[in-house]
Structure 1
Amino acid sequence: MLDIAGLRAETPGCENQVFLDSAGSSLPPRIVVDTTVAHLRREAEIGGYRAANERIDDLHGVKAAIAELINADPAALALSDSASRSWSDFFYSVPLAPGDRILISGSDYGSNAIAALQRARQTGAVVEAIPSDSSGQLDLDALDAMIDGRVKLVSLVHVPTNGGLVNPVAEATRIAHRVGALVLLDACQSAGQLPLDVAELEVDALSATGRKWLRGPRGTGFLYVRPELALSLEPGRLDLQSAEWTAPDDYVLAPDASRFEFWECSVANRLGLGAAVRYLLDLGPARVYAAIAERAEYVRKALAEIPGVTVRDRGTQHAGIVSFTVDRLEPIQVRDRLAGEDITVTVSHRGSTLLDMSARELNSVVRAAPHCFVSFEDLDRFVGAVRSLT
């Protein structure tokens, strides 16, 4: 069991509010804030280069911590400033030709879909959406029927941004690999709240952010690339971190996933990310994941019992996001009225998951995402406030 009182004491931001936006940008624990701010102060004292040199071992430790969390080799990881940057850097490095097929999930994220459409225009490839099944999750039978030798890349979303379903990643990956297609997993909403084992999932690449369920600083993210695959890809942009200038007219790519990194970064933020991942590892990821699931299910069931409230989550397995609407109120109105009572939720709009939201004729939904530091008293206060809106 987690020490909830201790977790809340280590999360000052939860003292005066009900915070339910860990799917957007979570509240960091004190160790993350202290680590980040302390390094910024050190930079102010001696300059950024000297300050970074003092923390070389700790910077290497950031990848080691992430590698431990997702069961990867640290050399298979590249650090970046966001999940979108990580996803795009890998996606744009995959060679495409006219007639190649890119498959995206029915609940794929807007940034991913836009990138896929842009590359299709540039290369002559085509973008096709994998249908969802009757439960709302990725339809494995439909994927199996769509897959052929022209499919070069399959974009999978582990947990959509607009609801609490969990897609069957491992099963979909096996189908894609049958024809040699690459699988790029968007784990933006699952890293930090669900188990991630790249060996079990067998994905070729995985992107994630630090600011959501991992509770790290904004401006952090990471990319995992299967080691042997990384050596066969050349990113679209390089610098002296991702490659070495070896002759006036030549360069050599970095020998691992660091070829997807740029030299310049926020050292303070990366140290903060490392502190966040270590904090999770020290708590015990399985215990944190269980606490998140328990809280989300508590909210899901309580909201479903309120007349005039519709829970919008789909799928057969649920994650920590609870999406809902309130009759006669726009989701933005719900968000703002709850904010007036110091309850923080957010809104997911149609443009973020256009295919799924259009199919369900939804313009937006309210999104509540409780982390392990949220108390059940907080959850009852939130449910009571929603009930009062009806």
Structure 2
Amino acid sequence: MDTRTINNEELEFMRNLTKGTSQLIHFNNAGSSLPPDFVIETIVDYLIEEALGGGYETEANHMDQINGVYDNIAKLINANREEIAIFENASAAWGTAFKGLTFNDGDEIITSEMEYVTNIIGLVDVQKQSGIKVKVIPNDDLGNFSIPELEKAITPNTKLIAVTHVSSSGGSILPIEEIGNIAKTNKILYMVDACQSAGQMPLDVKKIKCDILSATGRKYLRAPRGTGFLFVKKGAQKKMKPILLDFFAASNVSLSGYTLRQDARRFELYEKSRALTLGLGRAVDYAINIGLDRIWYRIRHLSELMRKELAKIPGIVIRDSGENLSGIVTFSVKDLESVDVKTKLAERNINVSVGGAQATPIYMDKNGFSTVVRASVHYYNTEEEISKLCQELKSIIN
């Protein structure tokens, strides 16, 4: 047996640790995964301790565990703990990094047509500055990010390459290692949005050669909502100005000035949920213990199976773009609005989501999609659940 395989005994054990799997079929992992029970227990136990003993007192009692979360995240992406900051979500992490960069007249930023909407808002804002230009690398005829087009787009004015690793509404995976090699060769700052890939597949910031990486906890890491993190390479930290500061990031404060701390936590604010931070740490540790290569192996198996079975159903069209696809499966159902498909499946205790044009606007507009149904698998899903989804879709169509 392939050592990457999660066997049936392991799978049953994992599902028994997740009460939600006994209540419904959850194919909305790209929105928010079902967390393991022990992650929820970690959060609740901490909140109870806070209620009984006081917030600051409880934090002091758990300081080693809280600081250990930075070690867990660093291990997850092969970074150093001094390069990790914890945020409430990926958008806050990405926005803090991006808005902390300085752009000058004539600077150029390169992105892809698969870029996420929140990031595009940031790009639009900076483009309003005089002389700033944003270049979008189009996908090729097969739906793949075009490396040749990227190389052609680079000029001496290219200041930043900012891309989303896994598309929210298209399922495609960008070749972030190849992009990283090009960025390094050309000495261009490189920023990766790993919101959909953290916890779904192995990530190694040293292989990627990125300077900045942002991610959320609630998706494939199976952490609670309200968690995320930011990686900023040690050498890039001084290139970013913190956009908000409090005493956590600054010391020796007087009217004459202050001293910034010398790690990525200079981008954090002090006040955040310690309970959620510990929940994030437990979820990250669990993913590491399972093995990201094993998680990714199963997700690929399940997503390939789902695409194959959906394609057999008359009236369903797979909408995924590109040759390298993730665990996010997108499709349309003939004569039915995506939101209606979602509603009908929810009535049958099956969760999917709707990928709207607003999520990846450049890609969706280019392909003429207003919405797609998005079914995203995780390792705790089963082949039987995929079969059930297909049966219910046939029933809805007929």
TM-score range for the pair, normalised by the shorter chain length:
over 0.9
Measure, in 2, the Cα distance between the counterparts of 1:71 and 1:311.
35
Q: Which range moved further: 201-210 or 286-295?
A: 286-295
Matched with 2:368 is 361
Measure, in 2, the Cα distance between the counterparts of 1:369 and 1:33.
22
Measure, in 2, the Cα distance between the counterparts of 1:254 and 1:137.
41
Matched with 1:24 is 31
Letter in 1 for 2:122: A
Q: Which range moved further: 301-310 or 115-124?
A: 115-124
224, 228, 235: which one pairs with 2:242? 235
Q: Secondary structure at the match of 2:359?
A: helix
Q: Secondary structure at the match of 1:32?
A: helix
Q: Secondary structure at the match of 2:336?
A: coil
Normalised to the residue count of structure 1, the TM-score between the two structures is: 0.98
Q: Secondary structure at the match of 1:366?
A: strand
Q: Give yes or no for contact 1:25–1:211 (8 Å, CA) kept in 2.
A: yes
Matched with 2:302 is 295
Q: Give yes or no for contact 2:183–2:189 (8 Å, CA) kept in 1.
A: yes
Q: Does 1:78 align with 2:78?
A: no
343, 367, 370: which one pairs with 2:377? 370
Query: Within 5 Å, which residues of 2 pair with 1:54-73?
Result: 54-73=61-80
After superposition, the C-alpha distances for 1:144-202 in whole angstroms (9 at most, x for unaligned) are: 00101111111111100002211111111222333322111000000001110000000
Matched with 1:157 is 164
Q: Give yes or no for contact 2:184–2:209 (8 Å, CA) kept in 1.
A: no
Q: Secondary structure at the match of 2:239?
A: coil
Q: Give yes or no for contact 1:19–1:343 (8 Å, CA) kept in 2.
A: yes
Query: Within 5 Å, which residues of 2 pair with 1:323-334?
Result: 323-334=330-341
Measure, in 2, the Cα distance between the counterparts of 1:16 and 1:241.
42
Q: Secondary structure at the match of 2:79?
A: coil
114, 120, 134: which one pairs with 2:127? 120
Q: Give yes or no for contact 2:30–2:168 (8 Å, CA) kept in 1.
A: yes
Q: Give yes or no for contact 2:135–2:153 (8 Å, CA) kept in 1.
A: no
Measure, in 1, the Cα distance between the counterparts of 2:335 and 2:44.
44
Letter in 2 for 1:138: F
Letter in 2 for 1:39: Y
Structure 2: gaps spanning 5 or more residues: none
Q: Give yes or no for contact 1:80–1:261 (8 Å, CA) kept in 2.
A: yes
Measure, in 2, the Cα distance between the counterparts of 1:183 and 1:223.
14
- The offset of 1:346, in angstroms, is 0.3
Letter in 2 for 1:48: G
Q: Give yes or no for contact 1:101–1:125 (8 Å, CA) kept in 2.
A: yes
Measure, in 2, the Cα distance between the counterparts of 1:30 and 1:320.
23
350, 358, 378: which one pairs with 1:351? 358
Normalised to the residue count of structure 2, the TM-score between the two structures is: 0.96
After superposition, the C-alpha distances for 1:204-226 in whole angstroms (9 at most, x for unaligned) are: 11000000000001010000011
Measure, in 2, the Cα distance between the counterparts of 1:96 and 1:232.
11
Query: Within 5 Å, which residues of 2 pair with 1:195-344?
Result: 195-344=202-351
- The offset of 1:33, in angstroms, is 0.3
Matched with 2:21 is 14
After superposition, the C-alpha distances for 1:227-281 in whole angstroms (9 at most, x for unaligned) are: 1111332222211122224332201111011111110101000000000011111
Runs of 4+ in structure 1 off by over 4 angstroms are none
136, 142, 151: which one pairs with 1:129? 136
177, 198, 212: which one pairs with 1:170? 177
Q: Give yes or no for contact 2:316–2:333 (8 Å, CA) kept in 1.
A: yes
Measure, in 1, the Cα distance between the counterparts of 2:343 and 2:135.
37
Q: Calculate percent identity across the aligned residue pairs.
A: 38
Measure, in 1, the Cα distance between the counterparts of 2:338 and 2:272.
36
Matched with 1:51 is 58
Q: Secondary structure at the match of 1:352?
A: coil
Letter in 2 for 1:216: A
Measure, in 2, the Cα distance between the counterparts of 1:143 and 1:285.
29
- The offset of 1:32, in angstroms, is 0.5
Letter in 2 for 1:389: I
After superposition, the C-alpha distances for 1:84-139 in whole angstroms (9 at most, x for unaligned) are: 01101111111101121111211000000011111221454122211111222211
380, 391, 396: which one pairs with 1:384? 391
Structure 1: gaps spanning 5 or more residues: none
Q: Give yes or no for contact 2:101–2:239 (8 Å, CA) kept in 1.
A: no
Measure, in 2, the Cα distance between the counterparts of 1:232 and 1:98.
17
Q: Secondary structure at the match of 2:321?
A: coil
Measure, in 2, the Cα distance between the counterparts of 1:52 and 1:21.
33
